[in-house]
A and B are shown apart, each in its own frame.
Chain A
Amino acid sequence: MKPDLLIVGAGPAGLAAAIEARARGLTILLLDENEAAGGRVWQAQQRRPAKDADDAFALATIDAFRASGAEVRFGATVWAIEAEATVYWSEAGQAHTASAGRVLLATGTTERPLPIPGWTLPGVMTVGAAQIALKTAGLVPTGATWIAGQGPLLLLYAVQALRAGGRIAGILDLSDPAARWTALRELPGALRTPSVLAKGLCWRREIARSGVPWLRADSLHAIGDGALKEIAFRTGGRDRHEPADLLLLHDGIVPSVQITRALGCEHAWDAAQRCWRPIADEWGATSLPHVLVAGDGAGVGGWQAAGISGRLAALGAAAALGRIDVATRDAAARPLRAARARALAVRPLLDTLYAPRPPALDDATIVCRCEEVSAARIREAVRLGCIGLNQLKAFTRCGMGPCQGRMCGTTAAEVVAQALGVPIARIEPYRLRFPTKPLTLGELAALDDGGGDWTE
């Protein structure tokens, strides 16, 4: 089977793209590594009753996808993509491959790491992790649970956890205290997306009413012997220690660029969100002709904008493959563009309010969790002449672990940039190659056809 469009990711962007593409007559294959549709934002949505309009929209989208006639494979982990859109993936330890007219990456985001001393202790997790645990397993925090960081997801999770009967000992706001004031100038623009603003304010109020302490803090440490026992932080000019067995960290989300990097797509530095994103036009076309991107993975914009960008990518692909003419494409795109602009209007406010702050790492803080490389070792490598992450990898093993730099790339670049006194956008990121997810040698070997003769 050679689908017209192979979509990776069944979140808001991927699902919307599939539905739109099917409506335009394209054949679709959608791959997602989870067991069901929804991606991260709508994870396990189908297992819960709809409690508001957003939930209803999610379920309606998933239903529309099911009815669209798109072929879908769940539990499918993509590990390589080659020229002319040949995609390799694993299902239950078996390698599969398909070629498509175009491939659309809608793989979303990962959380920006928030490295603090002791963050590798068991009991320290991300807010995103706790949300996954809540959505998929009904786990609510209890006892000595602290949340620390900044960003919309932190607020949302706190509200969700409290509503589900969870208990939170306190929330540490690690945002820049001046950010509130600088963000005010973005308020007029943000009023075009009043629903998001209103939600944010409601969440803050709900948390305040719950009695959960909300403290502006810095210098957060996680402390324990073998597992998290307490946290230390500075607030209101005082040092405090609090018992903790669960610490949830969050500092925003960044596009997941593993696949676009391994493909060799061009990326641009997003100064506002302090992250790399693949360069793409409004149809999601990257610097490689057969590769499209949509959703938060192309640039964080929220789930509404993600769905719209998925539809635009589908329209672009349909026109590129000759299924619709350019006039049809453009006519369909016009209202979508306007909707996307409205959905994105709140971003400058959010980006300023929750502006990521360059981390100030203690020497002993671990940057690369997989290989246990500390900030001190990175600084030493810079003194040895490392000016980018690839030489850094060679000198320290930072980034050589199984996560392939997902957890450490942003931080390592910050540390190198600070040590060199140069803007972080000048630091060459990790050079990534396929496979972008681990697979066994047996699985790989099964793909060998025995022909050709050019290995030792």
Chain B
Amino acid sequence: MSETFDVAVVGGGMVGGAIAYGCARSGARTVLLDGADASLRAARGNFGLVWSQGKGKDMPAYAVWTRTSLELWPAFAEAMGSAAGQEIGYRRVGGLAFCVGEQELAERRDEVQRLHNLDGGRGPPVRLLERRELEALLPGTPLGPQVTGASLAPDDGHVNPLLLLRGLHAGFLRAGGVHRPGVEVARIDAADSFAIDCGASVVRARKVVVAAGVGTPRLAAMLGIEVPVRPVRGQNMVTERLPPMLPLPASALRQTAEGVVQIGVTNEEGTWDPATTVVALARMAARAVTLLPPLARARIVRAWGALRPMTPDGYPAYAQSATHPGAFVAVCHSGVTLSAAHAGVLAKCVLAGRLSDEFSDMHPARFGRGDRVHAA
């Protein structure tokens, strides 16, 4: 292939897929280099939350970035639905984080007070609901006796993450994007353009975006960007289809439009194995049954693990290379929530060759490794 693409995106998950879609939609000749079917893909393990609650406690810029994405989501969902050939199940119905017991409720109350100011004033604040208010909000939901309340973010919601991924890929192709699956990128060299060694061939592009999840550090280093990323495993499970009982998603419990109840989630360090463990499944089951006791009779039909790409502080890392102009890095573990902003704002920055100021605080230089590289 002798063509030199405008943009090459390495990584076909939520982040790479959204950026590639945004670039292709803007008219850039874009190639998406995607890994093998069995490669570690956080995108397939996603919970499906479109979520602002609890985000950016220690980094206001991230809270703002999250809100930016949330504002773009309704229009983005429609575009995705049209690309996927079916609506992708985006429901902006509000998002809950349940409290079990009096102590959790007290702690949440304090936290809600603190979060009030971090929002950037751009949206309705998170509200704490005591038990009675929660019951009024969810009249048909069989809440367990130990549920004392929940915090509610009114603009949060959920989506079918697999349909979202499908929409990104379909929309990308429809916009003229070139998809190369089954690719393992060995090296990226820079001369006039970037030469991406894909084993059997070399792909050339004027710009390159590395959005390879847990595989990002190795490739980013070749482009002069140090970004530490480690895997943090999250286990999930889903039930058989059940009658409607939970109209709003919660942080670790949601009922999909098909009636399936999805239950999560663990945060496990130190493993590269996306397997499930009985001890974790049992713990999540116990919590789910505490929240909604009738779930005790529901059957789990499937469980899986996925590896979150986690930076040292848990916040995203976006950077453009100072040594290799035109090279970018994007990694986060909230790929669903941020996909609207990635497809919109971030893709435009990539095409313009420059990350705007809203990304400064999310530069990996904050981790203090190697060169201090600031956004130009």
In-complex A–B contact (CB below 8 Å): yes
Q: How far is the CA of A438 from the CA of B181 in the complex (A)?
A: 33
B295-320 contact mask (Cβ, 8 Å, vs A): 1 or 0:
11111111111000000000000000
The minimal Cβ–Cβ distance linking B103 to chain A, given in whole angstroms, is 13
| Chain B residues near A435 (CB-CB < 8 A) | 281, 300, 303
| A433–B304 CB distance below 8 A | yes
| A402–B240 CB distance below 8 A | yes
B residues 247-294 near A (Cβ < 8 Å) are 251-252, 263-268, 275-289
Q: Which residue of B lies closest to A389 (CB)?
A: B37
- The segment from A64-72, A271-279, A447-455 that touches chain B is A447-455
Given A387-B37, A390-B38, A441-B285, A395 and B166 contact (CB-CB distance below 8 Å): yes
| B288–A441 CB distance below 8 A | yes
| B181–A441 CB distance below 8 A | no
| A390–B37 CB distance below 8 A | yes
The minimal Cβ–Cβ distance linking A405 to chain B, given in whole angstroms, is 10
| A402–B37 CB distance below 8 A | no
Given A389-B37, A391-B37, A402-B301, A433 and B289 contact (CB-CB distance below 8 Å): no
The minimal Cβ–Cβ distance linking A103 to chain B, given in whole angstroms, is 15
| B283–A455 CB distance below 8 A | yes
Which among A384, A438, A445 is the interface contact of B296 at CB below 8 angstroms? A445
B141 contacts the other chain (CB 8 A) = no
Which among A385, A390, A434, A439 is the interface contact of B276 at CB below 8 angstroms? A434
Given A397-B162, A455-B266, A444 and B281 contact (CB-CB distance below 8 Å): yes
Q: How far is the CA of A454 from the CA of B41 in the complex (A)?
A: 22
| B252–A456 CB distance below 8 A | yes
B170 contacts the other chain (CB 8 A) = yes
A388 contacts the other chain (CB 8 A) = yes
Among A428, A441, A448, the most chain B Cβ lie within 10 Å of the Cβ of: A441
B residues 181-215 near A (Cβ < 8 Å) are 181-182
Q: How far is the CA of A452 from the CA of B182 in the complex (A)?
A: 39
Q: How far is the CA of A137 from the CA of B292 in the complex (A)?
A: 40
B350 contacts the other chain (CB 8 A) = no
The minimal Cβ–Cβ distance linking A364 to chain B, given in whole angstroms, is 17
Q: Total A-B residue pairs with C-beta atoms closer than 8 Å?
A: 142
A286 contacts the other chain (CB 8 A) = no
| Chain B residues near A442 (CB-CB < 8 A) | 285, 289, 295-297
| B282–A428 CB distance below 8 A | no
| Chain A residues near B275 (CB-CB < 8 A) | 264, 433-434
A408-446 contact mask (Cβ, 8 Å, vs B): 1 or 0:
000000000000000000011001011100111110111
B239 contacts the other chain (CB 8 A) = yes
B366 contacts the other chain (CB 8 A) = no
| Chain A residues near B305 (CB-CB < 8 A) | 433
A320 contacts the other chain (CB 8 A) = no
B132-155 contact mask (Cβ, 8 Å, vs A): 1 or 0:
000000000000000000000000
B residues 158-192 near A (Cβ < 8 Å) are 162, 165-166, 169-170, 173, 179, 181-182
| Chain A residues near B267 (CB-CB < 8 A) | 454-456
| Chain B residues near A445 (CB-CB < 8 A) | 282, 285-286, 288-289, 296
| B284–A455 CB distance below 8 A | yes
Which among A384, A439, A440 is the interface contact of B170 at CB below 8 angstroms? A384
A401 contacts the other chain (CB 8 A) = yes
Q: How far is the CA of A391 from the CA of B170 in the complex (A)?
A: 13
| B303–A433 CB distance below 8 A | yes
B354 contacts the other chain (CB 8 A) = no
Q: Which residue of B lies closest to A453 (CB)?
A: B283
| Chain B residues near A402 (CB-CB < 8 A) | 240, 299, 301
The minimal Cβ–Cβ distance linking A87 to chain B, given in whole angstroms, is 10
Q: How far is the CA of A385 from the CA of B33 in the complex (A)?
A: 11
A82 contacts the other chain (CB 8 A) = yes
The minimal Cβ–Cβ distance linking B292 to chain A, given in whole angstroms, is 9
Interface size on B, residues (CB 8 A): 53
Q: How far is the CA of A448 from the CA of B281 in the complex (A)?
A: 9
Q: Which residue of A lies closest to B44 (CB)?
A: A394
| Chain A residues near B179 (CB-CB < 8 A) | 384-385
Q: How far is the CA of A222 from the CA of B266 in the complex (A)?
A: 46
| B300–A387 CB distance below 8 A | no
A260 contacts the other chain (CB 8 A) = no
| Chain A residues near B166 (CB-CB < 8 A) | 384, 394-395
A80 contacts the other chain (CB 8 A) = yes
Which among A80, A387, A404, A438 is the interface contact of B278 at CB below 8 angstroms? A80
Given A431-B38, A456-B252, A441 and B44 contact (CB-CB distance below 8 Å): no
The minimal Cβ–Cβ distance linking A417 to chain B, given in whole angstroms, is 12
Which among B182, B264, B283, B299 is the interface contact of A439 at CB below 8 angstroms? B299
| Chain B residues near A456 (CB-CB < 8 A) | 251-252, 264-267
A364-405 contact mask (Cβ, 8 Å, vs B): 1 or 0:
000000000000000000001111111101110100111010
Q: Which residue of B lies closest to A392 (CB)?
A: B37
Which among A97, A385, A434 is the interface contact of B34 at CB below 8 angstroms? A385
| A438–B265 CB distance below 8 A | no
Q: Which residue of B lies closest to A404 (CB)?
A: B302
| B38–A428 CB distance below 8 A | yes
| A387–B182 CB distance below 8 A | yes
Among A391, A401, A439, the most chain B Cβ lie within 10 Å of the Cβ of: A391
A88 contacts the other chain (CB 8 A) = yes
| Chain B residues near A427 (CB-CB < 8 A) | 37
| Chain A residues near B302 (CB-CB < 8 A) | 400, 404, 433
B36 contacts the other chain (CB 8 A) = yes
B205-233 contact mask (Cβ, 8 Å, vs A): 1 or 0:
00000000000000000000000000000
| Chain A residues near B299 (CB-CB < 8 A) | 402, 438-441
Q: Which residue of A lies closest to B182 (CB)?
A: A387
Q: Which residue of B lies closest to A97 (CB)?
A: B278
The minimal Cβ–Cβ distance linking B183 to chain A, given in whole angstroms, is 10
Given A397-B162, A441-B300, A454-B267, A390 and B44 contact (CB-CB distance below 8 Å): yes
Ordered by A's residue number, 30 sampled pairs between the chains whose C-beta atoms are within 8 Å are: A80-B278, A82-B277, A82-B278, A385-B173, A388-B38, A389-B37, A391-B37, A394-B162, A394-B166, A395-B169, A402-B301, A431-B304, A433-B304, A434-B278, A435-B303, A438-B301, A440-B300, A442-B296, A444-B281, A444-B285, A444-B286, A445-B282, A448-B279, A448-B286, A454-B268, A455-B252, A455-B280, A455-B284, A456-B264, A456-B265
10 nearest interchain CB pairs?
Answer: A388-B37, A442-B296, A444-B285, A428-B37, A448-B286, A447-B282, A448-B282, A438-B299, A445-B286, A445-B285
B-binding residues in A (CB < 8 A): 80, 82, 88, 97, 264, 384-391, 393-395, 397, 400-402, 404, 427-428, 431, 433-435, 438-442, 444-450, 452, 454-456
Q: A438-B299, A441-B289, A455-B264 are in contact. List 16 more A-B contacts (CB 8 A).
A: A384-B169, A385-B179, A386-B37, A386-B181, A387-B36, A390-B44, A404-B301, A404-B302, A435-B303, A440-B299, A441-B263, A442-B297, A447-B278, A450-B286, A452-B279, A455-B283
A-binding residues in B (CB < 8 A): 12, 34, 36-38, 41, 43-44, 162, 165-166, 169-170, 173, 179, 181-182, 239-240, 251-252, 263-268, 275-289, 295-305
